[in-house]
Amino acid sequence: MPRVDDFLNAIALAKEALPSLDPVAMSRNAGAELVPLADGKKLILRFLNKPVEITYPEGLVEYAGGAEKLSPQEKGLILHYLLGARDIPPAGELITFREIPSGEFYYEPFLKRAQTPLLATFGAEHGLFRQAGETLGGRDAGLGDVSLTLRPLPRIPLTFVLWNGDEEFDPTASILFDANIKCFLGGEDIAFLAGTVVYKLMALARR
């Protein structure tokens, strides 16, 4: 498992790269709002349905208002998203994690962080899943027995699908991605993002 130092190093590298990008193009590509400041600029984008502020060119990342704290992993994820964002629409084609470049390499962490907890928590609790997902802005995806598409970041839809079990088959769950996700994030970040959304859904379900 990566250490905290690894995430801090990734943040430092992302901060070094950020000033090389045009903030106007970056905000447009990422679906963010660009706001002028007295000593620079800040970008505002929604992460898990809450506004996050990123200063430019410094690359400081915080929830707007500071009511909650972002983990180093979340800060690195958001910076990587800004650096990789492209002004392209969704492909409209859903793919599995294994179809993402390097997805096979990160498949076990993806299962452990995201798909397995999703099934364990919501496999028999479809109503609870829908309630938690709609709190995060999820919309019905018309798949399986229940499914929702969420946008944890403005240009990145994730689709969560649950199927009922029967006498022959156990309940199953799947997390699907728009084929263009590879244009925004790498496999490790995608696995982390999927897990972050699942654990947020789980936290909402416990309330």
Please indicate, yes or no, whether residues 144 and 101 belong to a single structural domain of this protein.
yes
Predicted pLDDT of residue 1 = 45
pLDDT (tens digit, 9 = 90+) per residue, 124-183? 999 999 999 999 999 999 999 999 999 999 999 999 999 998 778 889 999 999 999 999
Are both 104 and 193 inside the same structural domain?
A: yes
Q: What is the pTM of this model?
A: 0.93
Q: Which of 60, 84, 108 is the last residue of a domain?
A: 84
What is the model's pLDDT at position 3? 58
What residue ranges of the chain have pLDDT lower than 70?
1-4
Are 79 and 99 in the same domain?
Answer: no
User: Is residue 79 domain-shared with residue 98, that is, in the same domain?
Assistant: no
- 195 and 101 co-located in one domain: yes
* Per-residue tokens: 58: 């410094």
CATH number, position 158: 3.30.310
Give the number of domains in the chain: 2
Backbone angles phi, psi at 6, to 5 degrees: -65, -40
> Do residues 75 and 99 share a domain?
no
Residues 106 and 202 in one domain: yes
Q: Which domain holds residue 71?
A: 4-84
How wide is the angle at C-alpha 121 spanned by C-alphas 116 and 127, nearest 5°?
130
- Chain centre to alpha carbon of residue 49: 11
